[in-house]
Structure 1
Amino acid sequence: MKRGFGIIILFFLFTIPLTLLVSGQSKYPFDYEQLSEDERLVIRFSHVVGEDTPKGMAARKFAELLKERSNGYIEVQVFSNGTLYKDGEEMNALSRGDVQVIAPAISKLTEYVPEISVYDLPYAFHSLEEVHTFTEGVAGQKLTERLREFNLYALGIWDSGFKQMSNRLRPIQKLEDLKNLSMRIMPSDILAEQFSILGAYPKEYDFNAVFHELQKGSFDGQENTLTNITSKNFYSLQDYLTISNHGYLGYFVLFNLDFWNSLDEDVKQLITDTYLEVQEWEWELTEKLNENTLQEIEQCQCIELHHLSDEDKILWEEKFEPLYDYYIEKYGDELIKELPKFKSKT
């Protein structure tokens, strides 16, 4: 291993491979939990959403499984709700090595790889399965390779789901209802254009500031997934919610690349295998939690709810077509061609 363990620990490492220790096949299992923090492999994982969201629950499961499977040698310390670093601070903390893993919304990565905003295009995906296929295909590989240029290693993608729109002034039933509304967005030129072409006013705020700014009346509404809207209690400050499913929200799980490269191969393999198992679990969990959350909102009658019809969605999708031209003009059509909605036509 890369870290000093003392004479006794080195003996075990040279005589008993980690793969045997974690699989339980060793005749002499060693309890690494007895070691100090400096002697274990400590991985600090910071994220900004609630613990009961898909990302929050997956981060905890990832930590629990790695601790169990490494007999306590790998300790993932999870800091949720922006308690360690706020929304706008995480990337710098990862770059400095103050944390080793974060899971930012993909929109936050447009500062580094602008063309990653392909994920923000409205109605680019019609199911989470389409997102996963795109990410695991040629387009996703190209984007994650670009992230390496910024010392970022993408282990995979976690879902939050599809975004809905809420606001405090009027029901959003037609596209015209968005006119003159101020809407909070994440940092993405595509998201800014999305609202601008409808006559709305996009305003960029960090996620951890949204509730406070809604209280102040800094903007009228916002877009987010149902689990984020409820876990942060945004709906208590909004009067109208439209189930539009107009855009995908997900997270790349990112390691500091230098830190990742410093790990032994057996440790990398254990982390990767465990992550992939958690990723499958998280994908299923996301769909269930968003379905359950919608039912709870419908039952509580605490916000006026509107569902876009299939006809409405077609109209919305047509209205957003200029955004695809805008994207192509700035970043080319290489990634656009890989979107399921266009690939199925070729």
Structure 2
Amino acid sequence: MWHRIFLLLALPALLLVPSCSLQTLHPIPIDYEQVSDHEKIVIRFSHVVGEDTPKGQAARLFAKLMKERTNGKVEVQVFSNSSLYTDSEELDALSKGHVQIIAPALSKLTHLVPELGAFDLPFLFSSLEGYHQVFAGPIGKDISESLEEWEMVVLGFWDSGFKQFTNNLRPVRRPLDLAGTTIRIMPSAVLDEQFNLMQVNPVQMNFDDVYRALEQGWIHGQENTVSNIYTKRYHTVQKYMTISDHGYLGYVVVINKRFLQQLPEDVQNVIKKTMEEVSDWERKQAVKLEQEKLKEIYNCRCIEIERLTEQDKVIWKEFYKPLYEKMEQQLGRSFFRELGL
């Protein structure tokens, strides 16, 4: 009787032995798609523009490549359209470690690195290549070193492209055509001065709030790149658009320095190498998307479009000379020589 009871109690344990032995002989490989955040590296990448902009597409490509190149060990979570933080909140979120990567416009960092204000000067370079050369040279290196003092490591410089004017009152061909209007700008002393010269009332506003402000008539217009105008549908609530190429909108991709330094060296190298490749791709994509989206805006026939001629631009450049002189006094003649001016 006791013999039978012992067998009944021992049988379940005996049945488990083959299974345990099999797992010991053939260990299950780690599937990083199924493990917790404590076992994988999670990088939150927050930005404020649409997913179909150059920045939005490049952020997704970076996430895809990092997943592939680390076998899922590194998961980059991309939050677009200010879904996590607005452009006025993301710097603070980065410093507190709530996100690990952001890609703010250069204008948003001028209070930390005053030299970045030079890239808000209107008609600084006639081609994007002019900006690329500066970022790849001594000035770009100095900017990166300055941002490291603010606990940010620069991973790359991205393009959105050249900015264009839109407004609801009148076509824009001359610098004073917008006089008396209220125009949204990004936070920047240089942009503020630029629009003051145009006798415009410049208003700083979060990017995500601009569409409603235009729709409701709280502001008369704004300046932005074609891809941002298209993805945010500004052209559907504005009457006039001027292809002016008057200003540059670029981004600096930065990662929290403390977070980066805590990562394994091989992961740091993958991040830097992958971002370098993505940055090259992003710049080409910015040009391609601008051409595609401008064509779609033309085809919608929903906004009247003007285009500044080269003769028009000569007048605008002459108009902005006082602003250039003021910036040269602030940043120094040697800095402007490095810019090639």
Q: Same fold (TM over 0.5)?
A: yes
Measured after TM superposition, the shift of residue 30 of structure 1 is 5.5
Q: Distance in 1 between matches of 2:127 and 2:102?
A: 25
Matches within 5 A, 1:181-330: 181-330=181-330
CA contact (8 A) 1:67 1:74 kept: yes
Matches within 5 A, 1:46-61: 46-61=46-61
Measured after TM superposition, the shift of residue 330 of structure 1 is 2.2
Q: Which range is displaced more, 140-149 or 65-74?
A: 140-149
Equivalenced residues, count:
314
Task: Report what 1:165 is aligned to.
Answer: 165
Task: Report what 2:15 is aligned to.
Answer: none
Q: Distance in 1 between matches of 2:182 and 2:198?
A: 11
Q: Distance in 2 between matches of 1:181 and 1:326?
A: 24
Q: Distance in 1 between matches of 2:51 and 2:284?
A: 17
Measured after TM superposition, the shift of residue 331 of structure 1 is 2.5
Partner SS, residue 177 of structure 2 = helix
Q: 1:8-33: per-residue Cα shift (whole Å, max 9, x none)?
A: xxxxxxxxxxxxxxxxxxxx986432
Partner SS, residue 324 of structure 2 = helix
Q: 1:93-129: per-residue Cα shift (whole Å, max 9, x none)?
A: 0000000000011100012112211110111121111
Q: Distance in 2 between matches of 1:145 and 1:126?
A: 27
Q: 1:223-266: per-residue Cα shift (whole Å, max 9, x none)?
A: 00011011011111110000000110011001011111112221
Aligned partner letter, 1:240: Y
CA contact (8 A) 2:163 2:224 kept: yes
Q: Which range is displaced more, 91-100 or 324-333?
A: 324-333
Q: Distance in 1 between matches of 2:190 and 2:336?
A: 13
Task: Report what 2:17 is aligned to.
Answer: none
Task: Report what 1:133 is aligned to.
Answer: 133
CA contact (8 A) 2:158 2:251 kept: yes
Q: Distance in 1 between matches of 2:152 and 2:129?
A: 25
Aligned partner letter, 1:284: K
Cα RMSD, aligned residues only: 1.4
Partner SS, residue 154 of structure 2 = strand
Aligned partner letter, 1:109: L
Q: Distance in 2 between matches of 1:31 and 1:129?
A: 43
CA contact (8 A) 1:30 1:71 kept: no
Partner SS, residue 245 of structure 2 = coil
Task: Report what 1:12 is aligned to.
Answer: none
Measured after TM superposition, the shift of residue 295 of structure 1 is 1.1
CA contact (8 A) 2:235 2:297 kept: no
Q: Which range is displaced more, 155-164 or 210-219?
A: 210-219
Aligned partner letter, 2:83: T
Task: Report what 1:144 is aligned to.
Answer: 144
TM-score using structure 1 length: 0.88
Task: Report what 2:40 is aligned to.
Answer: 40
Measured after TM superposition, the shift of residue 156 of structure 1 is 0.8
Aligned partner letter, 2:328: I
Aligned partner letter, 1:313: K
Partner SS, residue 176 of structure 2 = helix
Q: Distance in 2 between matches of 1:334 and 1:49?
A: 35
Instruction: Extract unaligned runs of 5+ from structure 2.
Output: 1-27
Q: Distance in 1 between matches of 2:333 and 2:221?
A: 32
CA contact (8 A) 2:67 2:76 kept: yes
Q: Which range is displaced more, 180-189 or 42-51?
A: 180-189
Q: Distance in 1 between matches of 2:209 and 2:110?
A: 20
Measured after TM superposition, the shift of residue 47 of structure 1 is 0.4
Task: Report what 1:95 is aligned to.
Answer: 95
CA contact (8 A) 1:67 1:75 kept: yes
CA contact (8 A) 2:54 2:285 kept: yes
Partner SS, residue 228 of structure 1 = helix
Q: Distance in 1 between matches of 2:29 and 2:250?
A: 38
Q: Distance in 1 between matches of 2:47 and 2:268?
A: 21
Percent of aligned pairs with the same amino acid:
50
Q: Distance in 2 between matches of 1:337 and 1:102?
A: 30
CA contact (8 A) 2:161 2:248 kept: yes
Partner SS, residue 91 of structure 1 = helix
Measured after TM superposition, the shift of residue 87 of structure 1 is 1.5
Task: Report what 1:76 is aligned to.
Answer: 76
Q: 1:184-238: per-residue Cα shift (whole Å, max 9, x none)?
A: 1101011011111121111111111111211232211110001101101111111
Instruction: Extract unaligned runs of 5+ from structure 1.
Output: 1-27
